[in-house]
């Protein structure tokens, strides 16, 4: 008689003591060889509306699929309008929700004056990019300054998506931001923005900001609306320390093992390079990613919306692949004088700031998208989480896939020690060895998808054991090595001196 134990087959639907003759067969899927389990992706934009918007403030509006829908909710030219339009130009497959908020209490709107001087002594079309949108008028020789100013105000107001309202008095156009707060201070007025642009002879426009926007809204109430909703990416229009810290804290809460609603936060950082580095150091957050730019022609909030859309789509396709050269359609970066050199980009990266490719005509793409995290709570440099967004993205993808896989494969198993008679005799009993085998198999799937390397050794290192004090708990120590990316090529080009 053999000592091998023949395991019992466990049934879920057929009673164990069924006596009526006939064939009964349960149908259920086997997940042993399933590929990567698709992780859901969903984005959220939190931004300001204007009084013309139809949205109820602090209400979640799900599944925004058109820019016109967001424009109606937030109001034409509102910050939420600009963010959503930019986002949808980049990404129309990842679901998007929005939360509209009103301007902050006691806030002030930014104001600029455009002072025209003339008359024009030649014909032409005075060109200017305002908040990334091209504004021109037709000018003929002899037009006096007040005529040009009146036409210019009309041209601005004819663009409903412009985040400014124009009024005119004599030869002066006053442009007032539609939303109050600090964000509008980054609106740029760029004269002669394209190659070949020239102001008609005799006509000049002097642009001066006369009132600084002040006091942003607070994200606390908006974030409190969605404590248990799944969002992979959240973008906000503000970069003040308070709002960034609130978003960072929510991302940290969600990443905790007891919550597992992993979320990335996207914010703008503007100002000089030194100011951008200061903001990154103040954030120092594992899951906060910034778009540091000096005077970008497109509004920083629109760039954040565009970047978030590009990132969400790219990482759901492949969480381990670098984001270099992913285009940001319609976004205009800084003029050439404000684009950082490679040496300056190196300083930004080592300081927890992302960097972007900006062409001579202002068109943008991502170069490297970095976490702002640099040091741990003790102020010690922490290389574990410092660097590219793929670090967290791969961890999230593996955690989601592994836990979902285990739930599908072993939904209601018993648990027993390795080598026990119970485990040998019953297919509904899980052991540490069985689960480790499943992890090893899963590591092969991750390796085939080019998420990890050294999969065999890391699977062997991983440990599984029934908790000594709780027979219902399986403790796990999982190891993996994330795949690298071909980001830097370094070589030596040698040439022969003399001879053939």
Owning domain of residue 171: 111-211
Residue 35 lies in a domain: no
Centre a 10 Å sphere on the Cβ of residue 394 and count the other Cβ atoms it contains.
22
Extended beta strands in 107-263, E state: 111-117, 127-130, 133-136, 164-169, 172-177, 189-191, 204-211, 233-236
Residue 28 lies in a domain: no
pLDDT, one tens digit per residue, over 476-500 is: 999 999 999 999 999 999 988 987 6
pLDDT, one tens digit per residue, over 86-132 is: 999 999 999 999 999 999 999 999 999 999 998 999 998 889 999 99
pLDDT value for 467? 96
Residue 138 lies in a domain: yes
Nearest to 353 by CA among 246, 278, 248, 247: 278
Mean pLDDT for the stretch of residues 387-397: 97
Let me know: does 285 contact 348? Beta carbons within 8 Å: no
Please say if the pLDDT value at position 3 is more than 70: no
User: Residue 188: which CATH number?
Assistant: 2.60.40
> Considering 392, 412, 438, which residue would you say is the last residue of a domain?
392
Same domain? 233 vs 355: yes
pLDDT value for 11? 82
pTM: 0.94
Residue with tokens 């990154």: 280
Same domain? 318 vs 260: yes
Same domain? 332 vs 307: yes
Residue 234 lies in a domain: yes
Same domain? 318 vs 254: yes
Bridge partners (DSSP) of residue 291 are 268
Same domain? 227 vs 354: yes
Please say if the pLDDT value at position 14 is more than 80: yes
Same domain? 193 vs 296: no
> Considering 187, 211, 235, which residue would you say is the last residue of a domain?
211
Same domain? 160 vs 55: no
pLDDT, one tens digit per residue, over 331-390 is: 999 999 999 999 999 999 999 999 999 999 999 999 999 999 999 999 999 999 999 999
Residue 294 lies in a domain: yes
Q: Is 498 exposed, middle or buried (0-12, 13-18, 19+ CB in 10 A)?
A: exposed
pLDDT value for 1? 40
Residue 397 lies in a domain: no
Same domain? 426 vs 383: no
Residue 448 lies in a domain: yes
Residue 265 lies in a domain: yes
Please say if the pLDDT value at position 254 is more than 70: yes
Same domain? 325 vs 382: yes
**Max CA pair span of the chain:** 113
User: Which tokens belong to 102?
Assistant: 């009103």
Same domain? 452 vs 476: yes
């Amino acid at each position: 008689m053999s000592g091998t134990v023949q395991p019992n087959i466990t049934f879920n639907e057929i009673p164990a003591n069924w006596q009526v003759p006939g064939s009964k067969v349960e149908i259920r899927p086997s997940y042993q060889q399933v590929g990567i389990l698709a992780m859901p992706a969903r984005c959220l934009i939190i931004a300001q509306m204007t009084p013309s918007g139809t949205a109820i403030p602090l209400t979640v509006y799900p599944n925004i699929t058109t820019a016109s829908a967001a424009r109606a909710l937030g109001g034409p030219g509102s910050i939420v309008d600009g963010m959503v339009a930019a986002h949808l130009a980049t990404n129309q497959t990842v679901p998007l929700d929005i939360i509209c908020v009103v301007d902050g209490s006691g806030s002030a709107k930014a104001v600029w004056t455009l002072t025209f001087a003339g008359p024009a002594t030649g014909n032409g079309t005075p060109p200017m990019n305002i908040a990334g949108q091209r504004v021109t008028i037709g000018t003929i020789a002899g037009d006096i300054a007040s005529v040009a100013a009146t036409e210019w105000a009309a041209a601005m107001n004819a663009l409903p998506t412009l985040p400014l309202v124009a009024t005119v008095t004599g030869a002066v156009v006053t442009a007032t931001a539609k939303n109050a707060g600090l964000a509008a201070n980054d609106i740029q007025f760029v004269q002669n923005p394209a190659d070949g642009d020239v102001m008609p002879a005799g006509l000049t426009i002097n642009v001066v900001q006369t009132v600084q926007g002040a006091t942003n809204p607070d994200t606390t109430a908006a974030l409190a609306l969605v404590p248990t909703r799944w969002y992979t990416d959240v973008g906000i229009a503000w970069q003040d320390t308070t709002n960034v810290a609130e978003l960072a804290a929510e991302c940290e809460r969600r990443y905790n093992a007891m919550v597992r609603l992993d979320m990335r936060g996207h914010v703008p950082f503007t100002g000089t390079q030194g100011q951008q580095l200061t903001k990154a150091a103040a954030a120092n957050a594992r899951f906060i990613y910034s778009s540091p730019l000096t005077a970008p022609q497109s509004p920083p909030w629109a760039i954040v919306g565009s970047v978030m859309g590009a990132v969400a789509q790219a990482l759901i396709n492949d969480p381990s692949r670098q984001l270099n050269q992913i285009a940001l359609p319609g976004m205009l970066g800084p003029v050439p004088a404000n684009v950082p050199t490679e040496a300056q980009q190196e300083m930004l990266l080592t300081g927890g700031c992302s960097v972007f490719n900006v062409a001579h005509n202002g068109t943008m793409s991502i170069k490297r998208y970095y976490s702002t995290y640099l040091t741990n709570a003790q102020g010690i440099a922490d290389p574990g989480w410092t660097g590219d967004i793929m670090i967290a993205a791969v961890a999230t993808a593996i955690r989601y896939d592994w836990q979902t896989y285990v739930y599908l494969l072993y939904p209601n198993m018993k648990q027993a020690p390795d080598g026990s008679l119970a485990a040998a005799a019953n297919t509904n009993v899980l052991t540490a060895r069985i689960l480790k085998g499943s992890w090893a198999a899963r590591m092969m799937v991750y390796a085939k998808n080019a998420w990890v390397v050294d999969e065999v050794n890391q699977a062997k290192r991983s440990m599984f054991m029934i908790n000594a004090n709780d027979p219902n708990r399986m403790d796990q120590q999982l190891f993996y090595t994330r795949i690298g990316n071909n980001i830097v090529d370094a070589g030596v080009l040698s040439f022969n001196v003399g001879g053939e």
